[in-house]
Structure 1
């Protein structure tokens, strides 16, 4: 699922949302492994409908627990996990939830942003901007 057409011009398509990016990548990784939605959803402990909504971008990226079960079920490499985690973190940061992300998550984002072959420059700059805004607005503070 690509971004939505925002005008009457067919070439005018908005960039995909973090939900859509996550879903597209999850679907591609699942398909590359010859895995069905039914089998993956059973192994990850979620319904087929839930998985379908994640893959189509109708739902946000899953909770960390479900994310971990999906990753383990698919047997992803570290690089693939980082690629899949990026839109999930982008979604959280865009909603101003960075204070919920542990330090390790922020370090993962920073690491992925430094690996130019994982994402393109446009994505890296957008995510870096979101991360910087979030941190400037006190996103690095911890609840006492």
Structure 2
């Protein structure tokens, strides 16, 4: 399991689409992928007729996948609760190291380099300060893309 997938598993409920594979959980994927259905789905022409719904129209509508909005998870509330129960004073709002520690994950430089690779970091991984800032922004952005609700202060 990737480090980012583990982060999702720690923050989102186990039945959340981000954890079940039906959401854009892969690094670099966009949450709009599910909404990229063609505009004219099968049966849409029949549905535009002004007459009463026919069995074929109803059948076409029943086979069309429904677009259900992804449930939002209040990321800040989850992390605040985790911090309160941990008894640690961690600066997870700005520090990727503290965020990983709060989640009970490896926060070593090697682990952060692996996470940077998963998230397609193109900068110099030897410049850990720049990489850490980028990682924190990316993780927060990816959490939001996967259904996380973030306050403005945590958005990139």
- TM > 0.5 fold call: no
- Structure with more contact order per residue of length (Cα contacts < 8 Å, sep ≥ 6): 2
Larger C-alpha radius of gyration, 1 or 2? Answer: 2
Report the TM-score when normalising by structure 1: 0.28
Report the TM-score when normalising by structure 2: 0.27
More helix by share: 1
